[in-house]
Amino acid sequence: MEKKLNQFDIFKIMVKRDLLIQSRDWKEFVFRVGMLPFILILTYGFMLPQIGILDADFPNQMFPGMLGMSLLVTGIHGTVVPLAMDFNNTREIEDRLQAPVNVRVVAWAKMFVGIIESWIGALIVLPISLVFMGSYLNISLDFTSGLVLLGVLLLSSVTSATLGLLVGTVVKPPQIAAMFPGFLMPLIFTGAIFFNWAALETIPVMKYITLINPLVYINEALRFILNSGGDTMPIVYSISGIVVFTIVMGYYGMKRFIKMANR
Amino acid sequence: MKEKKIEAILEVKNLKKVYMKNDGEPHVAVNGISFELMKGEIFSFLGPNGAGKSTTINMLTAQLTPTDGEIVFQGQSLKDNPIFAKSKVGVVAQHNNLDRGLTARENLIYHGQYFGMSEGDAAKKADELLASFGLTDWGNDYVKSFSGGMAQRLKIARAIMHQPEILFLDEPTTGLDPAYREILWQHVLKLNKEYNTTVFLTTHYMEEPERFSDRVAIYNKGAIKALGTVEELRKKVPSQTIITIVLDALNEDVVKEVKSLADVKDVSVKDEKTFVVYVDNSQKVINELLALIDKKGLALESINLSATTLDDIFIHLTTNDIKND
């Protein structure tokens, strides 16, 4: 009746379980993921350029920022909220922690679902951007740039899931409501979503403070690829920044997860 | 009568768990306990609320890292190979830890798959268990809509989905009506008999270990106070006959005077109105007790004469600890 236990098989079942539960709330998911970029794109990418307050080139600067923001925030949200609830409130995760796998497998499954969600989050931005900013966008991608873009998106989604793992094992359910104003908003608005990081040259303090924000590196890398260079951070620096953040947050996130699992 | 089981499936050696409290002071939840679980036995681990029973179960099931000590599962150290141990155990936790976003049937199927069952086998077994626990009609309902009793039945069904070698039941019948308590025990006894499944039980219903356990451990304040068969534990109390008396109010003078009566072996105070007297000559002591109560002008609410039960053994072995807290 029982087949040989395989850690990867159990990982796949755990991912399937999470995706099934998420798919049942897909309307809520689309609303949650799409609403912020929709409002920002509608306002800054459509209305303000239309009425002449913002330059017509602004949507071009903004599009990579929206992509990066949506990717990062969706992945964080998709990992943080279930983890915080699972560990501190519903304790639903106990069934998976009792499964005959290394607890790291449970964490990997959670992160993998966060990665998938972050990709969906990024995909949702595309039609919104095309509808409202399509006429302003001037993006051309050759095959190599396309491959680099895919790599950056993949790496960024991993960053997003590792940050989600870390935050999800730190925050308690009552703090989730405070997470948006206290964590996500500062992360978004200091994440170079509207402009190149180099534009902060005139405010050196902000320029260096924002370097602790992983979204800066993600947006700079996306802007480098989608806007064909320009005045962005060199791609080697931005990718290195993403990698460093992923390793550091992944390390501490996993450490916290194991601690929470063995309480 | 079950055949005697002598092979140890789980060895616990000097197991200790110390938590740091918010004020930075250490709290010893489990203080160096040692015991063995024998293959195929039903072992009851009894103790008052907050004694550390769940902490012990969490350590034995690789969910909590001990501060010190060793757990050996079928010859393998749990610390070195927690996956091996986890593959062999089933756990019914005290709290509801079911997946609320899944249906009852899905809860069982996913659990079975975590333990290596194919989806088809897991679905078949899930349907059998849903039927056994009277949940077939709710199999496709989300667990978040379940009552406490239904959730408890489903938790038990989930724990036995993968036919564990050791089944840990942490107060499994709390919230169940008598009919489903019987159904649960039928399942547990069937597993125990047919598959030689070892059962580790904590409960506050003393009749359950008395009816079903091979051995019982009385545990309190991090330590095992007594361990043995129910018959062996009976010898730990001063006599085999007890008189339980409920007064309108109890005071220390009465207890002291009752203790001084000839033929009274010991007295345990159960609560602010009830005390238990362990006696040799029950008829004589009853007469003396009634006279004493009358002399003191106290109102007798009830008096009950009985043979020693596990309840009495438990109270006798744990009340002093509780009173000293």
Write the DSSP string, A126-173: HHHHHHHHTTT------HHHHHHHHHHHHHHHHHHHHHHHHHHTT--H
Q: What does the pLDDT read at residue B234?
A: 84
Nearest 10 degrees: Cα torsion A82, A83, A85, A86: 100
Is the CB of residue A118 less than 8 Å from the CB of residue A160?
yes
Task: Quote the DSSP letter at residue A180.
Answer: I
Pick the closest to residue B168 from B206, B130, B207, B197 (CA basis).
B197
Which amino acid belongs to residue B163?
A: Q
Q: How many CB atoms lie within 10 A of CB B75?
A: 9
CA of residue A197 relative to chain centroid, distance? 18
Q: What does the pLDDT read at residue B323?
A: 46
A94 to B97: CB separation less than 8 angstroms, yes or no: yes
A91 to B101: CB separation less than 8 angstroms, yes or no: no
Residue of B nearest to A92 (CA): B97
A17 to B158: CB separation less than 8 angstroms, yes or no: no
Summary mean pLDDT of chain A: 91
Q: Span A180-184, mean pLDDT?
A: 90
Sheet-wide strand order for B215-220 = B89-92, B166-170, B198-202, B42-46, B215-220, B223-228
Domains along chain B? 8-98+146-233 (3.40.50.300), 238-307 (3.30.70.100)
Q: Per-residue pLDDT tens for A123-160?
A: 998 899 989 988 888 887 888 989 999 999 999 999 99
Give which of A20, A24, A98, A101 to mutate to test B binding, by max B Cβ within 10 Å: A98
A95 to B97: CB separation less than 8 angstroms, yes or no: yes
Handedness of CA B228, B234, B235, B236 (dihedral sign): positive
User: In which band, very low, low, confident or very high, does the pLDDT at A4 lie, cut at 50, 70 and 90?
Assistant: low
Pick the closest to residue B203 from B51, B324, B323 (CA basis).
B51
> How far is the C-alpha of A179 from the C-alpha of A194, rounded, in Å?
22
Pick the closest to residue A136 from A238, A31, A66, A213 (CA basis).
A66
Pick the closest to residue B7 from B198, B152, B174, B193 (CA basis).
B198
Q: What does the pLDDT read at residue B322?
A: 44
Q: What does the pLDDT read at residue B261?
A: 87
Residue of A nearest to B55 (CA): A263
Q: Length of chain B in residues, anyone?
A: 325
Tens of pLDDT, residue by residue, chain B (325 residues): 455 457 899 999 999 999 988 888 898 999 999 999 999 999 999 998 888 899 999 999 999 999 999 999 999 999 999 999 999 999 999 899 999 999 999 999 999 999 999 999 999 999 999 998 889 999 999 999 998 889 989 999 999 999 999 999 999 888 788 888 888 888 889 889 988 999 999 998 888 998 999 999 999 888 899 999 998 888 887 777 889 999 988 888 888 889 888 888 888 888 888 988 988 777 888 888 999 888 888 899 999 888 888 888 888 888 755 444 4
Nearest 10 degrees: Cα torsion B135, B108, A117, A178: 70
Kindly report the nearest CA distance between residue B92 and chain A, in angstroms.
Answer: 10
- Spatial neighbors of B306 by CB under 8 A, at least 6 apart, are B241, B242, B244, B312
Q: What are phi and psi of A262, to 5 degrees?
A: -110, 30
Q: Which of A3, A20, A91 sits opposite B95 (nearest CB)?
A: A91
Q: Which of A21, A101, A102 sits opposite B102 (nearest CB)?
A: A21
A262 to B83: CB separation less than 8 angstroms, yes or no: no
Residues of A within 8 A of B97 (CB-CB) are 90-92, 94-95
Q: Give the C-alpha distances (Å, rounded to integers) separating A38 from A30, A44, A67, A134, B122.
A: 11, 10, 11, 14, 43
B117 to A96: CB separation less than 8 angstroms, yes or no: no
Residues of B within 8 A of A20 (CB-CB) are 102, 106
Strand partners, B150: none
Residues of B within 8 A of A9 (CB-CB) are 116
Tokens of B39: 């293959």
> How far is the C-alpha of B247 from the C-alpha of B300, rounded, in Å?
5
Tokens of A120: 């969906």
Q: How buried is A49 (Cβ within 10 angstroms: 0-12 exposed, 13-18 middle, 19+ buried)?
A: buried
Q: What does the pLDDT read at residue A2?
A: 47
Residue B232's Cβ-side half-sphere holds a number of Cα atoms within 13 Å equal to 10
Give which of A1, A86, A91 to mutate to test B binding, by max B Cβ within 10 Å: A1
Kindly report the nearest CA distance between residue A11 and chain B, in angstroms.
Answer: 9
Element holding B209 (H helix, E strand) = helix B207-212
> How far is the C-alpha of B91 from the C-alpha of A26, rounded, in Å?
32
CA of residue A196 relative to chain centroid, distance? 19
Give which of A13, A91, A113, A255 to mutate to test B binding, by max B Cβ within 10 Å: A13
Please report the DSSP string for A55-103 in residue order.
-TTHHHHHHHHHHHHHHHHHHHHHHHHHHHHIIIII-TTHHHHTSSS-H
Nearest 10 degrees: Cα torsion A187, A189, A193, A195: -130
Long-range (24+ apart) CB contacts under 8 A made by B292-301 are: B292/B254, B292/B257, B292/B258, B292/B261, B293/B245, B293/B247, B293/B254, B296/B253, B296/B254, B298/B247, B298/B248, B298/B249, B298/B254, B299/B247, B299/B248, B300/B245, B300/B246, B300/B247, B301/B246, B301/B247, B301/B248, B301/B273
Question: Chain B contact for A94, CB < 8 A?
Answer: yes
B91 to A98: CB separation less than 8 angstroms, yes or no: yes
Residue of A nearest to B93 (CA): A94
Residue B28's Cβ-side half-sphere holds a number of Cα atoms within 13 Å equal to 11
Residues of A within 8 A of B110 (CB-CB) are 13, 17, 95
Q: What does the pLDDT read at residue B1?
A: 45
Give which of A7, A8, A9, A17 to mutate to test B binding, by max B Cβ within 10 Å: A17
> How far is the C-alpha of B30 from the C-alpha of B22, rounded, in Å?
18
Q: What does the pLDDT read at residue B87?
A: 93
Tokens of A135: 């006429």
Q: Per-residue pLDDT tens for A248-261?
A: 999 999 999 999 99
Q: Length of chain A in residues, anyone?
A: 263
Q: What does the pLDDT read at residue B325?
A: 47
